[in-house]
Structure 1
């Protein structure tokens, strides 16, 4: 005797093997053709695990449990369920219950008269999809000793079943509602999906629980598979002592080809922190001949320290065939400043002008009466790409003396590294005026 309680536990349990097809981690093929379906003489069946397959004599504690179990079986097979007749005794107790495939029976065409009377005054027929084709798949249950017992089970279908493609290669990450709508378009109607919107949402929840402790491994496995199936794809990763993913880097063939052509100037920006795992996304970005941003490589790091940056820069060069850019532009993170000259032997290290200029108001003092005058003068010489280096040096000295910040340590240190960020001192670099900040990333 098998009494089904807690069907929700079964839904969670089968998330790995059967119910998975309703989620976007899988793709649909061999979809049901809704128009003009011709019943096949040979009925179609799909083998499903015994624990999810109905059998004569199976017992259930109630109607909802029985219907839910049959829906699970239907999802596994690739069809939808439609409740049908419920017979009751005079006292209101359930006598028997029939649950059908939603393509049971035949739809009757009803004549419809158009407003204009049709063509030559004749009645016209309503055009509709063929959805019912006389499928006999069903279960019948009858009440015995307070339990619903299956006494009839017809397994075969006379129409195609929704099936999975064995070599699912497309993976998308969208919500349950949008997935449900996409599936509706694929099978020509909500009634042909094989699951309800709530089923999609519940499975979305269950799949998150299922992969909670496995997401890092799923990430690594996915990119490893891409290195084997996609030409030119590069991927590397590093784990902590406890086996946690802490560093990863990847680049596809197109990105690597773009680097060969547009890799003279590279922006590296480690400012994008992910929400859930607090890992930092660090893209390597360049500019093509149309002045559009192109991504050469992407990386994730758990810590913004010298070791992480050194690892990422080293793998970046490996991915790009050891070709160094003419210059790489970053912010002034101490770990980056230390690792760049150790990894890039010939590339020039530039600092993001936006980051430096963003600090300048606070370093000068926004409450000072001469603040606006000072900022205007500094902006004019900092961003001017036509000034010669000597001209810039003279104007800088004059401005800081006029405003009394010549002895300020921050201004002195910033001026000392002017060759790494000021436009007048970077004119010899190609695309120096195009790639001046990390905001390209």
Structure 2
């Protein structure tokens, strides 16, 4: 009975699970009894105060190297946008925090108000800080309830703009109030997941065969030998497919501004045959030259006669690609009617000009 009671006491007592044979860094306890973990990394990737970077992206790349060795993930947080003398806004401070920084919004059932828990990082010294989501309007839609991974971690990496228009390290805190991610789970972090070009091409070919991204991910897992060896998640495949569809839709809309050029000829039975077609963005010599070379690659034998319209670019391209072909120009029916009746048209124009009092001088 005592052993059963001790087991219940152990299960109900607050504790933090630490995997066996896994070093979580240097553990410390503050005066309030809270435990913190400092990752053990090489000094070459550890940020130092007043370290200078050329841009925000270079600073974030350097901090990512530190996070990879420290077995946690960093995200871009808030920024400060002051105004210069001319009224233009610029980024003076940029925050990079742990992915478990802050807390999710908790809705109070009694007051029906959103209560935001405060984190240990204070930005009172820098004034108001604008976040990326502050300007976005919140949609009134029901969200699926899911557990939160945010525990109010206080680890941060802050840079500010110095007098040389470069960013330097202003604040750096490497203490976490949670254990790091185990090495076998590092590949599941968002920053470590990636689809390679060969995998993207494979998913695209499966999409051409009518296989969606969900089934395509299953095929990838079978090819690689397991889900953990793919290097990406199912949502990554779905997001990539969404981006591809957006790009193709945009490209289809732009194709309406392109020039459609068909290859039409006569076969041995004196029947009209369409050999192929092409879409060109420009009607210049370079585009026509590429088009005729592609046709010559598909049909090695040059045609005996080529008939085109009166485009001067096409005339130059045909002479530079087809050496044994006779090139002839054709005139549209409307152009033929105008040329045939040009005399009567000129007389008609002359009579109209005389009626309105406009004198024509004959050369």
Shorter-chain TM-score above 0.5:
no
Greater relative contact order (Cα < 8 A, sep 6+)? 1
Structure of greater Rg: 2
What TM-score do you get using the length of structure 1 for normalisation?
0.27
